Amino acid sequence: MNNMTLELVMPVPELKPELIVELFNTLGAVPAGNAAIADLQYGKGARQVSLVKMKDVMYTWSWESAGNKLAVKPYTKRDVDWAAEESAVTIRGFQTGDTVLFKTEDDAKEWLLKLSSIEQLKLTVQTASYKGTAVMYLSEEYSKGKDTTQK
């Protein structure tokens, strides 16, 4: 039963991390770090996922607090995926908590500049030299493209 998909719905407002760890331990799983799984909706970016290893099989897991769901799915690394530690930029949603990873700042800026709504910019950005909102992060890009000379 190596190729399984598990969805656990808990009748509680929040599944505590200790309970997730206990559940994985019961299943014989061990933490295996985080991965950046390429996702076209983020341009050259990727979703950050947590990994666990059971026997010789890797699984992703995620917790959806809105529906109280723990989803565990088989994971096979693809050429377009990378280790989360190789990411130069991390972007998180304020309310959703979603984490998007980018290998370079240019890739992150390219994706952010294509967003169509100010609501979508309610994000936090973290790089080696910056931590704050997406709007302030992009202000440098906007000022580069702006012609400030008077004619």
Give percent above pLDDT 90 in the chain: 39
Q: Is residue 150 part of a domain?
A: no
Residues 77 and 116 in one domain: no
Residues 69 and 93 in one domain: no
Residues 76 and 93 in one domain: no
Q: What is the pLDDT of residues 15-71, one digit of tens each?
A: 676 777 788 888 888 889 999 999 999 999 999 998 999 888 899 887 776 666 778
Query: What is the total count of domains within the chain?
Result: 2
**pTM to 2 decimals?**
0.75
- Tell me which residue range forms the domain holding 67: 6-35+49-83
Residues 104 and 134 in one domain: yes
Q: Which residue has the higher pLDDT, 2 or 51?
A: 51
Residues 78 and 102 in one domain: no
Q: Is residue 42 part of a domain?
A: no
Give percent above pLDDT 70 in the chain: 74
pLDDT, average across residues 100-123: 88
Residues 76 and 128 in one domain: no
Q: Which residue has the higher pLDDT, 1 or 105?
A: 105
Burial of 57 (0-12, 13-18, 19+ CB in 10 A): middle
